[in-house]
Every structure is written in structure tokens, then in C-alpha cells.
Structure 1
Amino acid sequence: MASSYNPEIATGLGEKPQENYRFALISLTSLFFMWGFITCLNDILIPHLKAVFSLNYTQAMLIQFCFFGAYFLVSLPAGKLVKRLGYQKGIVTGLVVASLGCALFYPAAEFATYGLFLGALFVLASGITLLQVAANPYVNSMGSSETASSRLNLTQAFNALGTTVAPFFGAVLILSVASSAASDLVNTQAEAEVVKLPYLLLSGILASLALIFSKLKLPKIEAHMADDTSQISYKGKTSALQSTHLVLGAVCLFVYVGAEVSIGSFLVSFLGESHIAGLKEADAAHYIAYYWGGAMIGRFIGSVVMQKIAAGKMLAFNALMAALLVAVAMTSSGSMAMWAILAVGLFNSIMFPTIFSLALRDLGPHTSQGSGMLCLAIVGGAILPLLQGITADAFSIQQAFFLPIICYGYIFFYGAKGSKM
């Protein structure tokens, strides 16, 4: 017989767990910033390595395939590891692995081998996956379920701050330096070595954060750390998979991450098209900040607005607006197409944290399992950009944007209906 679940006993409410929540949330914002920063650097890495190794769009999208493919392979083991270690130790482990992944860019650049770059990205993404599996449900648990979307939007706003800053960092330390290397030393190794310094710096920062987080005194939330949730019955369910809103939410997260990453991955190339803006890579990289900056602004606004408006309604509205903007970018040219695609970031803003929190609602002891499932769905960032790359090679970059429109259609459905319990 399945055992019963008492949330008051599990959380230890008598111990006033909210005393340290504010400090913990402030500390966790640094993690959200860092993995946003690192993930967005892929948008700079793609055009750089595409030029260095003379890749077509499909081959270049292997960068996102390896990075987000790690979510598919690592998420479930990461969920089990977090369940065993706890949120804080899971975070520290994720930071150490991510630091190692960044350090591996050095030998990849030294040997100027595309396969080694992909391997380094996979290790880096494995660490980021572990951070996501631990940090997102941790934030989700620090308060009532009614305000979970608002909390995640606030912390994810700092994730978007990282994605806003990263293009400037990448443009200065990667693309602009690469242009000089290309003019002075026309060989693959000289251009490949450009990434050594930026990623070694990131490795050092991540290692420092791992040390800091290992010393912090963060609150322990035992409710989601049961050893064997398969024998725990919570509201008649013994598995997160029995919750329809979680399963539909996992699909929604799959298509959302796929759409967001597809658009971000092609921005530099799209803005470089002669009939759009005709920008050089280093100049186009600066405009990526508008895309991710819109996401940052939208999340700060969303964290306030969603305390008054239902999360599902906000998600449906934003999905509809994003789809319309992508359609404009597909069917127009010049500045209209450019600003339409950049404005999509504003409406992407609340989607990830809102989908995540809606899908995890009221899972109790199955929250960790649910978080692992959702992080598994982030593999959409590996598959859909690759499909868009194939489409761009076969037709054009502009026509390939029909894939994100389909994705936003499903997100609209989830916000309007699928997320209802």
C-alpha cells in the first residue's frame, strides 16, 4: 500500500523555513544570471565556428544540438542526484561540472577540432542542466504555489539579464577579435583560439561560485526529497506522470525552448541578410541584446503583473503576440522584419518560468521528478534549431521561421486550456 504524505511534517513548518528564503532567493539570482549568460554565448559561438570550420547551417546547429541534447541525457539522472544530495549540494555539483566544461574549450581551441568543441559544450551543458534541475524547483518551493510564477519570473529576469549582457561580451572578446585574427593569420587554429580567454574566465567564475555556494547556509526543503516517491501517494497520485498538466507542460516547454533557441541562433545570420539589415557579424551581435533585453524587461514586468492576472492567461496572450511578430518577420523585409523578430524576446519573457511553475503546481513529493521531466523537455533546444537549420539550407533563413510559429500555437493552447488542473 502506498504511504500517505503529510506536507506539514515534510516541510517542517514549525521551524519557520521562510526566515532564510529572501537571502536564498538573492543568492540564487547569481546562478540564473550565469547560466543565461553562458547559454546566450552559443548565439555568438555559432556564427564564429560556422566561419572557422566552413560549416553549413545544419552543421552549425550541432552546437545547439550538443548543448541542449545534454538536457535530454542528463536531466533524469540529475533529478535523482538532486533528490539524493539536496538542492544546495546539487547546485554546487552543477557549478563544478559547468566549470570543467568551460575549461575544456582550451584544448578544443588548441587542437582546432570542431568535435572537441561539441564535446566541451556537452560537458558544460550537463552542469547547467544539473543547476536547472536543482534551482528551478528550489525557487518554486520557497513560498505559496499561487505566487510561484511570480517568483520564478523575478529570478528568471536575472537569467535574461545574463543573456542581455552576453552578446556584448561575445562581440568584443570573440567576434571582433576573430575578425582581426582572420585578417592577420588566415588559418583555422588562430581563429579557433579566440575562445580560450572568454571560456577560461567563465571557468574561474563558476568554480568560485561553487566554492561560495558550498559555504552558504541555505534553507533545506525536505518535502521534495523523499527517497522513494513511487510509494508515496499524494492526492491519489504516485507519480508526476499521472498529472496531465505536467505532461502537457513538458511538451509546451519542449516547443518553447525550441522556438526561443531557434530564433536566437539565427539572429546574427538573419540580420546579416542583405534584404534585412546587411550587418556584419560583430555588429549584428550587439542587436541580439535587444532580443534578450526584451525578455529581461518582460520578466520584471511579469513578476509584478502576474500577481494580479492568471499565469495561464498571460502565457496565452504572449504566445499569440510572439506568433504574430514572427509572421511579420517572415513576410516583410528591412527594418520592419528586423525589429519584429527582435521584439519577440519581449513576449518570450514570461514563458519559461510560467510554463515551469504551471507544470509543477501541486506535485508535492513528486516535484523533483516533475522538475527532471521538465528539464528533459529542454531538449527542444537541440532538435528544433537543427530542423530549422535543415529548412534554412533547403529554402532560406526567413522561410525557416515558420517552425517557431507552430511552437507558439501550442504554447497558446497550453496557456488557455492545457495548464488547467
Structure 2
Amino acid sequence: MEVKILTKNGINFLIPFILITSCFALWGFANDMTGPIVKAFSKIFRMSVTEGALVQVAFYLGYFAMAFPAAMFIQRYSFKAGVLVGLSLFAIGSFMFFPAKMTGMYYPFLLAYFILTCGLSFLETSCNPYIYCMGSEDTATQRLNLAQAFNPIGALMGMYIAMEFVQIKMSPMTTEQRAILPDTQFNILKDNDLSVLIGPYLGLGAACIFLLVLIRLTKMPKATDTRVNKSIVRAFKELLHIANYREGIIAQFFYVGAQVSCWTFIIQYGTRVFMEEGMDEKSAEILSQKYNIIAMVFFTVSRFICTWFLKYIPAGRLLSILAISAIGLTIGAILFPDRNGIYCLVGISACMSLMFPTIYGIALRHVGDNVKFAGAGLIMAILGGSVFPPLQALIIDSGITIMDISATNLSFTIPLICFIVIAIYGHRAYIRHYILSPDAEDHV
């Protein structure tokens, strides 16, 4: 790690960077443990894919609901205070899985996810601009990519825990077998599976408390916590005049939708392929999750590689190149009926690695003292993870087939559209920054 990217006005931000980057890994764990749980909830409660996808709706709705309150809070107090509140809500939501399990009902789990992600919204609203401010604006995108590189490390751990401590330990009974169980036997089975499911979340809550105490007891520099006496209305009027920012919100909305869709429904995609090869349902689900983990390994390695490429390739151009590559691979995932489609989905993860922090970094160019509110708007764009997965689930549940292409494959037209939007944004950002004059940049 180059020290110069973590220095500003002679102040070194290495220790705060390490502590805040730990939060990136922690919410990566929560995000990517949740994807496989969608399938688990569908089985446990005998629900459709669409009903199971409500987990993602609740999960990403919390991001949307809390982003602006979080921005107002850190505007009044500090980035550190925002991180502490975020970790507190994160822990509360995680511990709420125990009383939700005791009710034996689905909707209390959705409430727990919502509270948990209100905490994640506080964390991301605080941590992303905090990292952005830990050095010069010239190295901000590189710094964000470096911090975000530890997010998929946590995500890999989340996926592994979901497979080893939830999917494998759940009852091997298939969806069809569960559907015909008498209520008494079904409730016993459901209680057992829910006990398995909540374990990782209780551990996650304990980890949040540990990190909260560590950050609380550590002296964090306040050089980045500049308060600005400005109303939200004025701040956003100024922000919406910046083309990179207003288009960046749209691009981030579509990116998160694509990411969540690809990582959630690779389980359904792989299960269909492997069951057609002759596997039983549980084995097919576990093997699908292994491919999901491989995809995250590609994502992690690609993040570090792409961060290095940013030294030589402009951020907007690299973003558009990766989005175009993702478009090609998504088309492959739609058209291939066999394992080739799964290989394409794994490849898509490598393309996605750079997208979130790069869109974030590009969008924050020239926002000046509006950085906290600007960060909140970009975190609200995470709502895309709540919008697109249910649409994809509806296509899967419809069972529609076009030219012998299954509904599961056709559902990936949703992330295809998302990647097209991202490619356009990357190209426009490159044109504005490197070809048009600075005066033209804010108005195109």
C-alpha cells in the first residue's frame, strides 16, 4: 500500500484506514451470506422464489431508508459517530434473528434484516466518504478501490459460512417433500432449520460489538470531519448540477441491482443445470454455492488487479470496458443451457469487481463540501438491490420459455440491462473528464 494515498496535509490516516476498512469486510460478510439464504428461506417456509426474494427487498430497503438520516447525523457529529451508530444497529438487527426464530414466522426475519441494513446504511454513508477524504482527491478512486478490495474478502467468508453452516446442516428434504409434510412434522423441521440459519447472524452481531468497542477506544483523527452550515435542499441543488453525480446515482442503482441479482440467482441457475445432469436438489444447491464462492474469488482477485490498472487506465474508460465485458458474458449466461452458462456467471463477477467504488469515486468528483450528502445519495442508490431481484424472481416463477431458453436463463436479461446502463455511464464520464473542457464537464 502506498502511504502517499493515505496522507493529506501532512496527516497520516493509516490506522483509521485499517479500522474503517474492517467495516468494509464486515458488511461484505453480511451482504453475501444473505444471497444463499434467499433459497434457504424459500425451502424452510415453503414459499415461491418471489416470496423468498423479499429478503433482498427488506435488506436493501434499509439502505435506502437510512441513508439521509445517516448523512444528517454525520453532518452534525462526525464520521466516527456515524460508524459507531451503524455498528450498533448492525448488531441489534443480527441479534433480532433469535426472537424472530422463536416466533416461527417469516416476516420478523424481514424486520431483523431491515434493522441490520439500517446499520449498514449508516456504515456505508460514513465509511465511503471517510475513506474518500483520507488523502487527496486525485488518489480518491484508487483509495476507495483499495478499501473496497477487502469487502469481497468478507463476502467470501460469508458465502463459505452460508454453505458450511447453513446449507449443508439444513435438512436434506427437497422442496417437493416439504410441501407434502403434515403441519406438525413441517413445524418441527422448520424449527430445526431456523436454528441452523440464525447461528451465523448471532456470531455476526458479536463481531459488530467487538469492532464497535475497538473503534470507540481508538483515537481517530478529525481532520476530515468538517461541518458545513448548509441545508439539504441547497446541497442537493448544487449536487444535481454535476453531471457525474446525478448520472452516478443512476449507474449505482443499476449496478447494485445487477450484483445482487447475479449473486442471488446463481443458486437457482446452477440448481437447474445440475439437477438436469441428474443431481439431487440439495447437492445441486451446494455445488451452485461452490461456484458462487469461485465467482467471489474471481471478484476479489480482479478488484486488486483493477485497482492496479487504475494507475494507467482512466477510471471511466476501465469502467466501460468491464461493463461491456459483463454484457457479453451475461448474453452467454442467457443463451447457454448448460455449465457454460455458469462459467459465464462466474466471469461476470470478475467484471463487477471495480464497478461500485469506481462509480462512487467518479460521482464524487468536484462535489466539494457536499461530500457527506453526496455519499448519502449514492448509498440510497443501493435500493437497486431491492428492486431488480424481485423482478428477476417473477420471471423465474413465471416458467416462461422462449426459443427453448428457460425462464431462469431469461431472467438474466435484468442484469443485462443494468450493465448496458453502466457502460454508458463509464463512457460519458471518460468523455467529460478527458475530452471536454472542465467548464463543459458539469453540464453535459
TM-based fold match above 0.5: yes
Q: Which residue of 2 aligns with 1:76?
A: 68
Matches within 5 A, 1:41-80: 41-80=33-72
Corresponding residue number in structure 2 for 1:197: 199
- Moved runs in structure 1, 4+ residues, more than 4 A? 15-18, 180-186, 229-233, 275-279
Question: Residues 363 and 332 (structure 1 numbering): CA distance in 2 closer, same or farther, change over 3 Å?
Answer: same
The one-letter code sitting in structure 1 at the alignment partner of 2:317 is K
Is 1:319 the counterpart of 2:323? The answer is yes
Distance 1:301 1:389 in 2: 33
Shift of 1:16: 6.3
Q: Could you tell me how far apart the structure 1 residues matched to 2:193 and 2:73 are?
A: 38
Structure 1 residue aligned with 2:161: 169
1:205-224 alignment, distance < 5 Å: 205-222=207-224, 224=226
Structure 2: runs of 5 or more not aligned: 1-6, 179-184, 401-406, 433-440
| Cα deviation code 1:193-237 (max 9, x no counterpart) | 21232111111110111111111122213465313256989xxx9
Distance (Å, rounded) in 1 between the aligned partners of 2:234 and 2:413: 44
Equivalent of residue 280 in structure 1, options 265, 280, 284: 284
Whether 2:145 is the aligned partner of 1:146: answer: no
Deviation at 1:331, TM superposition (A): 0.3
Amino acid at match of 2:386: A
What secondary structure does 1:177 align onto?
coil
The answer for the alignment partner of 2:376 in structure 1 is: 372
Cα distance in 1 for residues equivalent to 2:368 and 2:43: 49
What letter is aligned with 1:178? M
Matches within 5 A, 1:21-420: 21-179=13-171, 187-222=189-224, 224-228=226-230, 239-274=238-273, 279-394=283-398, 395=400, 396-418=407-429, 420=432
Which secondary structure does the structure 2 equivalent of 1:226 belong to?
coil
Q: What does residue 11 of structure 1 align with?
A: none
Aligned partners of 1:330, 1:232: CA distance in 2, in Å?
45
**How high is the TM-score relative to the length of structure 2?**
0.87
Change (3 A) 1:315 1:110: same
Return 248-257 or 143-152, whichever deviates more: 143-152
Segments of structure 1 that go 5 or more residues without pairing to the other structure are 1-14
C-alpha contact 2:8 2:135 (8 A) present in aligned 1: no
One-letter amino acid of the structure 1 residue matched with residue 160 of structure 2:
F
User: What is the root-mean-square deviation of aligned Cα atoms in Å?
Assistant: 2.2
What is the alpha-carbon distance in structure 1 between the residues aligned to residue 46 and residue 408 of structure 2? Answer: 18
Distance in 2, matches of 1:125 and 1:238, equals 28
- Whether contact under 8 Å (2:166, 2:196) holds in the other structure is yes
Amino acid at match of 1:64: Q
Match of 2:438 in 1: none
Residue deviations 1:51-82 (CA, integer Å, cap 9, x gap): 00111111111000010011121111111111
Letter in 2 for 1:373: G
Quick check: 2:169–2:196 contact (8 Å CA) kept in 1? yes
Q: CA–CA distance in 1 between the matches of 2:411 and 2:40?
A: 21
Instruction: Give the share of equivalent positions with the same residue, in percent.
Output: 27
| Preserved CA contact (<8 Å) 2:8 2:136 | no
CA distance in 2, matches of 1:140, 1:363: 12
Of residues 394-403 and 248-257 in structure 1, the stretch that sits farther from structure 2 once superposed is 394-403
- Helix, strand or coil at the partner of 1:288: helix
Please list the CA deviations of residues 234-270 of structure 1 after superposition, one character each: whole Å capped at 9, or x if unmatched: xxx9622221211100000000000000111101111
Query: Cα deviation per residue 1:13-68 (whole Å; 9 max; x = unaligned)?
Result: xx965533122212222111000010001112111111001111111110000100
Deviations 1:251-305 (A, max 9, x none): 0000000000011110111110136765522232222111222211111112211
State the shift of 1:109 in Å: 1.3
- Structure 1 contact 312–415 (Cα < 8 Å) conserved: yes
Q: What is the alpha-carbon distance in structure 1 between the residues aligned to residue 191 and residue 30 of structure 2?
A: 23
Residues 224, 368 of structure 1: 8 Å contact kept: no
Partner Cα distance (1:81, 1:260) in 2: 29
Which structure has the higher relative contact order (CA within 8 Å, separation 6+)? 1
Contact 1:90–1:134, Cα closer than 8 Å, also in 2: yes
- 1:48–1:416 Cα change, 3 Å: same
Tell me the CA shift for residue 187 of structure 1: 2.3
CA distance in 2 between counterparts of 1:76 and 1:393 reads 35
Q: Does the C-alpha gap of structure 1 residues 258 and 18 become closer, same or farther in structure 2, counting only changes over 3 Å?
A: farther
**Preserved contact between residue 97 and residue 112 of structure 2 (Cα < 8 Å):** yes
Deviation at 1:163, TM superposition (A): 1.2
| Matched residue type, 1:179 | S
Retained in 2: the 8 A contact 1:152–1:353? yes
Change (3 A) 1:230 1:61: closer
Tell me if the contact between 1:223 and 1:365 (Cα under 8 Å) persists in the aligned partners: no
Q: Number of paired residues? A: 404
Q: TM-score, normalised by structure 1?
A: 0.91
Q: Secondary structure at the match of 1:218?
A: coil
Once residues 70 and 321 of structure 1 are traced to their aligned partners in structure 2, the CA distance between those partners, rounded to angstroms, is 31
Q: Is the 8 A contact 1:319 1:347 kept in 2?
A: yes
